Amino acid sequence: MNGGDVDCIADTSIVIGLLRRNRETEQLAAGKNFAITYVTLAELSLGVLKSAKPEAAWQRIQEIIRDRLMFQVSPNTPVIYARIYFELEQCGMMIPINDIWIAALAIETGLPILARDEHFSRIKGLKVISC
């Protein structure tokens, strides 16, 4: 699995920062052709369901993710996920489960992850671009 001309995979925190028009996030993401994962779409969809204005929220999400590549699980992704989970658990340094899935896809594709969450730095073999 590869990302073609994709620069990185954006974590949900980046997309949320873009939704909120956070300047630091906008600067970090500027000029990057980032992909997302199915996990990010699921997390954003949950946010829409919780929103007071779901139609407006969904429209804004679509503006940001339109034409973005979205990575799905392959047969190898769960193996990478299990290794990450195991290593984090052994060190007593767990991170949110959804972030482990996003990290597994980033490792599988060989792409760095663009994130606002520092806990991604706990994962061996994951390249992180953070703000």
Residue 26 belongs to a domain = yes
* Single-letter code of the amino acid located at 115: A
Residue 2 has pLDDT above 90, yes or no: no
Residue 3 belongs to a domain = no
Q: pLDDT for 34-49, tens place per residue?
A: 999 999 999 999 999 9
pTM of the model: 0.91
Number of domains the chain is built from: 1
Q: pLDDT for 59-95, tens place per residue?
A: 999 999 999 999 999 999 999 999 999 999 999 999 9
| CATH number where 82 lies | 3.40.50.1010
Encoded tokens for 25: 């996030």
